[in-house]
Amino acid sequence: MLQLNNISKSFNEVQALKDITFEVKKNELFGLIGPDGAGKTTLFRIITTLLLPNNGNAFVNGFDTVKDYKEIRKITGYMPGRFSLYQDLTVEENLKFYATVFGTNIKKNYHLIEDIYSHIEPFKKRLAGKLSGGMKQKLALSCALIHKPEILVLDEPTTGVDAVSRAEFWQMLKNLQHKGITIIVSTPYMDEAMLCDRVGLIQNGNIFTIDQPDNIVNSFEKQLWAVKADNNKFKLITDLRNHPNVESAFAFGENIHVSLHDNKQEIKTLEEYLSEQGNQKVVIKQTKAGIEDVFLHFSQQNSVTQ
């Protein structure tokens, strides 16, 4: 459905994308995971024909993003990161406008947006600018869907959205996927990676891994330990980093995830050391890596080699 070949893009000296090659299959839910400034938006703007690459080419359903941009725009629904609907039009007027621009009407494709639009329909006479964050997001998604696109490109749809609304939003995406739509979505939230069929991890314009989220997590070779104590976390993390056998120590919720230089050394020695330093009720357990662990270790290696 989507094929990218050696895409590069620079803005003056800044290389935003470096030789990006990957494909997204038909009806796949593909996630692009990375922080601000990684190159996610630049890539999405190239896919949606809004920006020209310096090198490489990209195809959406066989259409070239440079030559056949008109065809691509007909079959693509794009939800940019910044809310870009008309704030001075009502909810209903916005939807009608987007339907008309694409030569269709709300009635014809209502079945596609019903799940989502029904939440905001009671407020259809309200100005879009007066909606709450979660409602704006639902309206923007409805507008991106109203011309029945084959592929949906969503740029950070859940940034700044609370955990409950985020969970609901992902449920909506799953429903759309079941209706046959291919979805490519970007997010800075690592936990959302697990909800995609495949993900690409991107940083500094490079995609460093593309795979099913389970495979990415399972291929992580380092043994990780979850360390917990009853006192100040800053002290615990500082003490851990001062220990010669500790390779890395990162906060993860209530625990600190630790990797060691030498795993043969008894974990009990570390526990004793932490207690000696005055940490209370130290508990150390083996733990499984998550996507965020993989990301952290990769960016650490990356900054060392740079």
Is 134 near another protein (CB under 8 A)? yes
Residues 252, 295: Cα–Cα separation, whole Å:
13
Is 35 near another protein (CB under 8 A)? yes
Is 119 near another protein (CB under 8 A)? yes
Q: Which of 246, 275, 270 is nearest to 258 (CA)?
A: 246
Q: Output the smallest distance, CB 269 to another protein, in A.
A: 25
Residues 6+ apart with CB under 8 A from 216: 193, 199, 201, 209, 291, 294
In the chain, the amino acid numbered 210 is I
Residue number, 25 or 233, with CB nearest to another protein? 233
What HEC string does 16-40 produce? EEEEEEEEECCCCEEEEECCCCCCH
Q: Which of residues 188-217 bind another protein (CB under 8 A)?
A: 188-191, 203
Q: Output the smallest distance, CB 134 to another protein, in A.
A: 5
**Which part of the chain contacts another protein (CB under 8 A), choosing from 57-65, 67-75, 182-190, 273-281?**
182-190
Binding mask 149-178 for another protein (x = CB under 8 A): -------x--xxxxxxxxx-----------
Is 232 near another protein (CB under 8 A)? yes
Is 14 near another protein (CB under 8 A)? no
| Dihedrals phi, psi of 33, to nearest 5 degrees | -110, 125
Across the chain, the runs of DSSP E, i.e. the strands, are: 2-11, 14-24, 29-33, 55-60, 63-64, 76-79, 151-154, 182-187, 198-203, 206-211, 224-228, 246-252, 255-260, 283-287
Q: Which of residues 56-95 bind another protein (CB under 8 A)?
A: none
Q: Output the smallest distance, CB 255 to another protein, in A.
A: 9
In the chain, the amino acid numbered 10 is S
Q: Output the smallest distance, CB 125 to another protein, in A.
A: 16
The two structure tokens encoding residue 68? 């056949």
Binding site for another protein (CB under 8 A): 34-38, 119, 122, 132-135, 156, 159-167, 188-191, 203, 232-234, 237, 250-254, 292, 295-296, 299-300, 303
